[in-house]
Amino acid sequence: MKFESQVVHVGDRKRERMTAIPSTTPIHLATTYFYDTAEQLDRIFGHEEEGPSYSRYENPTNSALEELTTVLENGHGSLATCSGMTALQLAFQAALIDKPHSIVSSSSIYGATIKLLDQVMEPFDVNVKYVDICDLAAAEKAIATEKPGCVFLESISNPILRVADIPKIAALSKAAGASLVVDSTFACPMLMRPLDMGANIVVHSATKYLSGHGDVLGGIIVSDAEHHENVRMLSRIAGGTLGPFESYLTMRGIKTLALRYERQCQNARKLAECLRSHAAVERVYYCADPNHPDAATIKELFAPNLYGAILAFEIKDADKAAVLRFMTRLKMVVPGTSLGDVHTLLLYPAMASHRDVAPKMRERMGIRENLVRVAVGIEAVEDIYADLDAALRTP
């Protein structure tokens, strides 16, 4: 099946132990499961037979979602977690089992991920080295020097939209014996599938494009065969799994992912073109820009005619106070700290996603005080632009 059909059908209509088959996966709220014989339950606990026993290990609603995300990312297996950050932490831990406790990470990443690496991983003796992952020479040198157990990058960086050459980084990682972990939240599997490019683990914040409606907090880890059991083992011990109701909502959201994401990408491209000529806008960051520093990589890795649904722009001569006034003037665009919803969201990185990153480090990352990020929704693009335009023009 093609992607547009997979998002609608995979994971649903399971026939096991049912006389009537529900057209969509039900919400299984039970924490505990038993079987006709204790011998079968013993086989379930011993992983000799598939089936749920306790919801921290497996839940039928979660399993349906995990089957779906595994297919969409062309992986070996998935785990649904209670947040994207939980997914990242489990992914890092799974990648480092029986490997050097060292991570080479892209320096252009989400602020909370920097905190996870610096304040959670490093205190447990995990060395973290940051590098410009789009500079292949610098990345190769860092990987060769650090000899890490894990290499980490974002498929599209947050918030200035740099795109690394994943196949080449994957080859460098493999040669060094390191696992490549990719946070692909900004891309979603409709735009690219990092596992097909050589990555070992792909992470999503299910809160974003997968669920798509601003009503789910969750994460997804999709792994290759080498890492999947490590991911499941860690979750069986530590928990952090997604609740069945959130799994149901995420699965329901994914059914319209192909339609939503295509519309969002179209809107983002048109909006970027309009903002480039706006008198109050200094610079626009968007992956369709022919002058994008990673234009060649984008052409090679992205699905045809899709460039993502996120853009960022700098407001001319604006300081923090001016940006906050601009945000307050918005009428339809939501000034909120998320992305991927059906409605357009505008985020101020210096206030939200990268608030705890030191100002000098933000500057080195290219995040200036006048930068805002727009996660474009499915509204009429004329209305999105009109709202931004009015807020930019008002003194």
* Residues catalogued as catalytic: 56, 110, 183, 208
Maximum separation of any 2 CA atoms in the chain, in Å? 74
Backbone angles phi, psi at 78, to 5 degrees: -130, 160
208 Cα distance to chain centroid:
7
Tokens 């919803």 correspond to 341
For residue 214, what are its two tokens? 């601003």
Distance, CA of 89 to CA of 92 (rounded, Å): 5
> Exposed e or buried b for every residue in 111-132, given b needs 16+ CB within 10 A?
bbbbebbeeebeeeebebbbbb
Contact yes or no for 242/216 (Cβ under 8 A): no
Count how many residues are written for the chain: 395
Q: Give the CA-trace dihedral at 32, 86, 134, 184, to 10 degrees.
A: 40
Which residues lie below 8 Å from residue 344, measured CB to CB, with a gap of 6+? 332, 333, 334, 374, 375, 376, 377, 379, 384
Q: Exposure of 371 by Cβ count < 10 A (0-12 exposed, 13-18 middle, 19+ buried)? A: buried
261 forms bridges with which residues in the sheet? Answer: none
